[in-house]
Structure 1
Amino acid sequence: MILPETVTVDEGLTVVGASPELLEELLDFLDVETTRLGVSVRDALLPGLARQQVQDEFGAVGLQAPEELITWWGWSNGVRPGVMGTRSFEFNSLQTTLGSWSREVHGSGNNDGTWNPEWLRVLGPGNYGVLVSCAAVDGPPLVRDSDGALGTAVWDTDNQVVSLCTPVTWWIHARQRGWTTWTPAPGGQNEWMVDWEKFPLEWRLTQIPQY
Structure 2
Amino acid sequence: MNRWFETQNDSLSTLLPRLERAWRLRKAPIVEGLRPGLTDDAIDALMAPTGLVPPGELRTWWRWHDGSAGGESIGPGSWQFGSLAEMIQTLEYWRRFQASSCDASEPAVWKSSWFPAVQRGPNHVLHVDTSAATTAGEAPVGNAEPFDDEPRDVVRATSFTQVVGLWLGLIESGTFTLVDGYWDADWNSLPTELKTGRLI
TM-score (norm 1): 0.73
Aligned with residue 153 of structure 2, among 156, 164, 169: 156
Alignment correspondent of 1:120: 115
Matches within 5 A, 1:51-62: 51-62=40-51
Written as runs of structure 1 = structure 2, the 5 A alignment for 1:172-187 is: 172-184=168-180
Segments of 5+ residues of structure 1 without an aligned counterpart are: 8-14, 185-189
Note the alpha carbon deviations across 1:141-160, whole angstroms, 9 max, x for none. Answer: 0112333376996x631x61
Aligned to 2:27: 38
Is 1:192 paired with 2:183?
A: yes
User: Cα gap change, 1:174/1:130 in structure 2, threshold over 3 Å: closer, same or farther?
Assistant: same
Q: Secondary structure at the match of 2:146?
A: coil
Moved more, 124-133 or 66-75: 124-133
Task: Give the whole-Å Cα distance in 1 for the aligned partners of 2:14 and 2:30.
Answer: 14
Counterpart of 1:92 (choices 75, 78, 82) is 82
Distance 1:65 1:156, change over 3 A: closer
Question: Structure 2: which amino acid aligns with 1:116?
Answer: K
CA distance in 2, matches of 1:149, 1:120: 18
Q: Where is the helix percentage greater, Structure 1 or Structure 2?
A: 2
Tell me the TM-score normalised to structure 2 length: 0.77
Contact 2:23 2:31 in 1 (8 A): no
Please point out which of 41, 59, 62 is paired with 1:70.
Answer: 59
Are 2:160 and 1:169 aligned?
Answer: no
Cα separation, 2, equivalents of 1:75 and 1:149:
33
8 A Cα contact 2:127 2:143, kept in partner: yes
Q: Following TM superposition, by how much is the alpha carbon of 1:136 offset from its aligned partner in structure 2, in angstroms?
A: 4.0
**Structure 1 residues 171 and 110: alpha-carbon distance in aligned structure 2, compared to 1, 3 A threshold:** farther
8 A contact 1:145–1:151 mirrored in 2: no
Query: Of Structure 1 and Structure 2, which has the larger fraction of its residues in strand?
Result: 1
Deviation at 1:180, TM superposition (A): 0.9
| Separation (CA, whole Å) in 1 of partners of 2:124 and 2:52 | 23
In 1, the alpha carbon distance for the partners of 2:38 and 2:171 equals 27
- Are the counterparts in 1 of residues 30 and 68 from structure 2 also a CA contact under 8 Å? no
Structure 2: state its 5+ residue gaps.
none
Residue 48 of structure 2 aligns with an amino acid whose one-letter code is G
Quote the sequence identity (%). 20
- Give the SS at the match of 2:72: coil
